[in-house]
Structure 1
Amino acid sequence: MTPKIVFDNVTRRFDLKGGSFLALDRFSLDVADGEFVTVVGPSGCGKSTALNIAAGLLKASGGEVTVDGKPVEGPGPERGMIFQQYALFPWLSVRDNVEFGLRIKGEPPARRREIAERFIDLVGLGQFADALPKTLSGGMKQRCAIARAYAVDPVILLMDEPFGALDALTRVQLQDQLLETWSRERRTVMFITHDVDEAVYLANRVVVMAAGPGRLQEIIEVDLPYPRTEEIRLSPEFTAIRNRVWHAVYHQQPAQSHG
């Protein structure tokens, strides 16, 4: 099966005063169509850098990222990006925020309303469609951001710690909601997180990155059935995979210098 997203020896340097910083070092990864991949690693390992290159928000210094075999040369409607910060327009209602990308695409008003309402209902915000973001909780704002990303029908979702700022209960609820939506829509998801439990709970595979410079450390298969449930989260099988990921993240060998 042809991979959906391919990172091929991707390197990224940032220019600093008096030199440069190697954030990503020859990072290679294939993500299959419809796969849910989570990416974990210590701070400074290049997780967000890799995601931003896939989104077309950053250029690689070396190597390339392709989607369906075509090089990523900038942002595109087939890739939806969801950030940790909600990035909602504060002066627009939930409905208007969700319709925003559809308006840019030139969808007629009736079609915009139909699509927006579908995804607002999907994320459980139907009764808040006319509310402004300032009246919503953090979890509700993030659900609105997810609905907006889904509404423009991307085949790929790129998610950069979308639940990182939320309380534990809201985080678990949104994890379950995201998986429920993914199981219906089967989009390709690449999801960055610092949370090992979250990484294992969501994913088909967990990609562990190493820092200094950022590179691929290990890929760990999550051989647990969907739908994921609290019973699975508390199972010995989950604990075993979680412990393996934890060890891979927090007991890494020092990087070899590449000059």
Structure 2
Amino acid sequence: MTATVPAVPAHSPGSPDSPALISFRDTVKHFPGPDGGFTALGGIGLDVAEGEFTAIVGPSGCGKSTLLAIAAGLVEPTSGEVLLDGRPVSGPGPDRGVVFQQYALFPWLTVRANVEFGLRTARVPRAERRRRAQHYIDLVGLADFADALPKTLSGGMKQRCAIARAYAADPRILLMDEPFGALDSLTRSQLQEQLLQTWERERRTVLFVTHDVDEAVFLASRVIVMASRPGRIDRTVEIPLPYPRTRATRLTAEFTALRTELWQAVQRSEPTARPASEATQEN
């Protein structure tokens, strides 16, 4: 797919200077357990502007996935709060679309029926449901597979279907937890480009968790580096690369410099050792 939008500055319109769509206010998550348990998140404060593409990186165990789960309303914070457009998040809702590393498609439903599922639950009229589903199926390049079952699709196609389903529900924000982590490097690169093209057209707010520094630099306008014990924001790295970004972007000196800066920041955030009791906690 070829992006048709004009080049724009990396922070327009979704700039951190814009009003926050989602805000973490001194958000703490403590998991009880032996020897007092484990604090996964320690007082997170973060604002994400509407239309912004923000990536979160950091070592395993720093609370990235826990932070996303709290934003999704799937996990309650121990203290503090998360606000969506100024209102506290108290549970899951259609204003947040979630895409996980595992595709979570219904195996007995076709691509079209999977994409329509949230719309059907919301009682969207059939004609409008079909129109919106087809729009996003086309947008992610699955038009020829709309009537196929998930078992006939490759991993990359399944993830495209999951992304189309999340978009079709018309959420205010997309929460993406390592959505390309299980894919081979070529498919991963292709889906990164396709995700950016979709974001450039739709300008939805995206909060994207990844372990991949290259992926974070390529996709995001801002990268949050987290450290653990407890999970906290260690550093913010602005990515002033203009959109649209292409494969050629990865070959520029600017990209290489930003990747090196971010990699060094992640390395500094790594703990020197990790207790066994923490090994089973969320990333």
TM-score range with shorter-chain normalisation?
over 0.9
Which residue, 65, 72, 88 being the options, matches 1:55?
Answer: 72
SS of the residue 1:29 aligns to = strand
Unaligned runs of 5+ in 2: 1-17, 273-283
The Cα of 1:254 is off from its aligned counterpart by 5.5
Alignment pair present for 1:181 and 2:181? no
In structure 1, what residue type is equivalent to 2:257?
A
Shift of 1:252: 3.0
Residue ranges of structure 1 left out of the alignment (5+ in a row):
none
1:18 deviates by 4.3
Q: Within 1, Cα distance between the matches of 2:35 and 2:256?
A: 46
Deviation (angstroms), 1:253 = 7.3
Q: Report the Cα distance in structure 2 between the residues aligned to 1:242 and 1:198, rounded to whole angstroms.
A: 9
The residue aligned with 1:117 is 134
Aligned to 1:200: 217
Deviates more, 1:102-111 or 1:196-205: 102-111
CA offset at residue 122 of structure 1? Answer: 0.6
Superposed CA RMSD: 1.1
Matching of residue 252 in structure 1 with residue 252 in structure 2: no
Instruction: Find the counterpart in structure 2 of residue 34 from structure 1.
Output: 51
Q: State the shift of 1:242 in Å.
A: 0.6
Alignment TM-score, normalising by the size of structure 1: 0.96
Q: Deviations over 1:79-131 (max 9, x none)?
A: 10000000000000000000100000001222211111111011000010010
CA distance in 2, matches of 1:235, 1:253: 27
Query: In the alignment, is the contact (CA less than 8 A) between 2:177 and 2:210 conserved in 1?
Result: yes
| Aligned-pair CA distance for 1:17 | 3.4
Q: Provide the residue aligned with 1:79 in structure 2.
A: 96
Partner of 1:160: 177
Q: Distance in 2 between matches of 1:248 and 1:9?
A: 23
Higher relative contact order (CA 8 A, sep 6+): 2
Identity %: 65
Q: Secondary structure at the match of 1:4?
A: strand
Q: Tell whether 2:259 aligns with 1:213.
A: no
Of the candidates 239, 243, 256, which is equivalent to residue 260 of structure 2? 243
Q: What CA distance in whole angstroms lies between the structure 2 residues aligned with 1:251 and 1:106? A: 49
- What displacement does 1:160 show? 0.2
Size of the alignment, in residue pairs? 255
How far apart, CA to CA, are the structure 2 residues paired with 1:91 and 1:253?
42
**TM-score of the superposed pair, with normalisation by structure 2:** 0.88
Secondary structure at the aligned position of 1:58 is classed as: coil
- SS of the residue corresponding to residue 242 of structure 1 reads helix
1:146 corresponds in structure 2 to 163
